[in-house]
Amino acid sequence: MVTHGKDLVRQIGVLSATSFMIIAALVGGGAFGGTPVQDLQDGALAEDGSVLAPAGPAFSIWSVIYVLLVGYAVWQALPGQRARSRQRALGWWIALSAVLNGCWLLLAQFTTLPLTVAGIVALLLVLCIAFQRTVAIPAEGLLDSLLIDGSTGLHLGWVSLATVANTSAWLTATGPSEWADAATVLGVTVLIVVGIIAVILAWASGWHIAPALALTWGLSWLAVGRLTGEPSDVAIGTTAIVIAVVVLLVTAVGKAADRVIDMRNAEA
């Protein structure tokens, strides 16, 4: 493939965006003396900030996502990746997702809850576009699949649930006290909608497993938070478990069925 100057610019852009994300994560997470995320916004973003907040250990998934994104940034900068059509289609979108990821932490640290919701919605939209492109242009090899499909899929799956939790935290912190009476019904309804969207996404993407894995992880810890922590809500916790099992099972079965069909077609 013919290499253009803009390919090198893209590679540098991805490296720069990823570096910004890591620095912003350190600043936004309180590593340089700032307030830890769980204490920001008067505790609204903590695991007990709303009925749709996952328990604390759920957020360890960020370590996996960050490692994959850093791995992608280094890998895409290699000369052999410079002119690949998949990198050209995805590089800037993944870079933008890294920038918005870092911006959310800065918004949480220095601005208001409504702005954090706007920030995470923007990140979600960018990840939807990036993931759609991973589906439209299939991976070639293990690294391609792991560092592009894996990082983008996990990022999308987790941010999908994080958007729900972030919005719930905002509404819980700013809404009238009467809303608390409807929290269980609304929470269960939202989780069911999330599950339906997740299954549709899995089907439309050819049963890509990464978004389902991240969403299942988050829903499982949401269930732990509601069944063993505060605020306690058995209905929401139970619903989260059921939705997590359904999403993961449907995706796994769909992917297995696709593999069987492919094998039969190859033998025909």
Kindly state the helix (H) or strand (E) to which residue 204 belongs, with its residue range.
helix 183-204
DSSP-based three-state secondary structure for 125: helix
The DSSP code sequence of 5-71 is: HHHHHHHHHHHHHHHHHHHHHHHHTTTTSS--GGGGGGGTTSTTSSTTPPPGGGGGHHHHHHHHHHH
Q: So what's the pLDDT on residue 28?
A: 73
Residues 34, 109 contacting (CB under 8 angstroms): yes
> What domain count does the chain have?
1
How far CA 196 is from CA of 80, 148, 183, 230, in Å, comes to 40, 25, 20, 27
Residue 173 has pLDDT above 70, yes or no: yes
Structural domain including 46 reads 5-267
Residue 194 is encoded by which pair of tokens?
């999330």
Closest C-alpha to 161, from 209, 117, 214, 103: 214
Confidence class for position 5, pLDDT limits 50, 70, 90: confident
Residue 44 has pLDDT above 90, yes or no: no
CA atoms of 47 and 55, how far apart (whole Å): 5
pLDDT in tens, 71-120: 999 999 999 999 999 999 999 999 999 999 999 999 998 899 999 999 99
Confidence class for position 41, pLDDT limits 50, 70, 90: confident
Higher pLDDT, 167 or 263: 167
Q: Taking the CA atoms of the chain, what radius of gyration do you get in angstroms? A: 19
Residues 203, 194 contacting (CB under 8 angstroms): no
Q: How many CB atoms lie within 10 A of CB 89?
A: 14
Residue 3 has pLDDT above 90, yes or no: no
DSSP 137: S
Determine if the pTM surpasses 0.75: yes
* Cβ-based neighbours of 110, under 8 Å, separated by 6 or more: none
* Cβ-based neighbours of 266, under 8 Å, separated by 6 or more: none
Residues 121, 163 contacting (CB under 8 angstroms): yes
Confidence class for position 2, pLDDT limits 50, 70, 90: low
Residues 103, 24 contacting (CB under 8 angstroms): yes
| Average pLDDT of span 34-63 | 88
CA atoms of 114 and 131, how far apart (whole Å): 26
